[in-house]
A = this chain, B = another copy of it.
Amino acid sequence: MAPVPPPQLSARKSPRQARATATLEAIFEATIQVLLTDGPTRLTTTRVSARAGVSVGTMYQYYPHKQALLYAVTERYLNTVAETVERTCLQNHGAPLAQMSDTLVKAYWDAKTMQRNATRALYLVALEVNTSDLAEACMQRIEAATAAMFDSAPDAKFADLALVNLTFLTVLFGTVRSLFTRKMTEESERRVGDELSVMCLRYLEASKIA
């Protein structure tokens, strides 16, 4: 399910000693930090390695170039996202439809709220490296998890589960992103969020088989 990274974007080697693992971890962390504090156009290899407390050379021991590093960081981030959603879905297996919808919207909303900057940062990374295969893989994991959850709802059956599921997710993800992109008062944000919740649930309800 996890996509095999294209060869030019692959890491050069994996750490064998504990020291190396720590180094790699520091590099990852530093990349995110720089992305958040300095922005994607200021993300230079020198800056990242400086922040990580290692030399540039060390970075290049693990990644053949900047792109490969960014690819790896994105991969790790998206994995976390997918795992979060999968966990949430499992926890709501067999729950009533309304609870499923609300939980998902809330979970996604909260995740994004907490990682607003990280999300934005990673999106910008996509400019320099083509991470669409990673994003697609992540989406498919999420789709599978939510589909399985919806399918387990005791109070709802759908004529076309796949379509309903896909629409639900597309609207949810798109709207949340849209909301966060704009500068809006917290108040407005919250109120639109509530409306979204209602809208999503209403959509699900209306799609049920009589």
Contacts and interface: CB of A to CB of B under 8 A. Distances in A.
Contacts of A170: 175, 178-179, 182, 192, 196
A166 interface: yes
Contacts of A164: 195
Contact of A179 (B132, B135, B174, B196): B174
10 closest A-B pairs by beta carbon, nearest first, are A174-B178, A174-B174, A174-B175, A167-B195, A171-B175, A170-B178, A199-B203, A167-B192, A173-B178, A170-B175
A176 interface: yes
B41 A128 contact: yes
A176 to B, nearest CB: 7
23 contacts: A39-B127, A41-B128, A124-B127, A127-B127, A136-B182, A136-B183, A139-B182, A166-B188, A167-B192, A170-B179, A170-B192, A170-B196, A171-B174, A171-B175, A171-B196, A174-B175, A174-B176, A174-B177, A174-B178, A177-B177, A177-B178, A195-B203, A199-B203
Contacts of A206: 202
Given A127-B41, A178-B173, A202-B203, A195 B136 contact: no
Q: How many copies of this chain sit in the oligomeric assembly?
A: 4
Interface in A126-161: 127-128, 132, 135-136, 139
A163 interface: yes
Nearest to A207: B195
A84 to B, nearest CB: 19
A128 B34 CA distance: 16
Nearest to A203: B199
A108 to B, nearest CB: 12
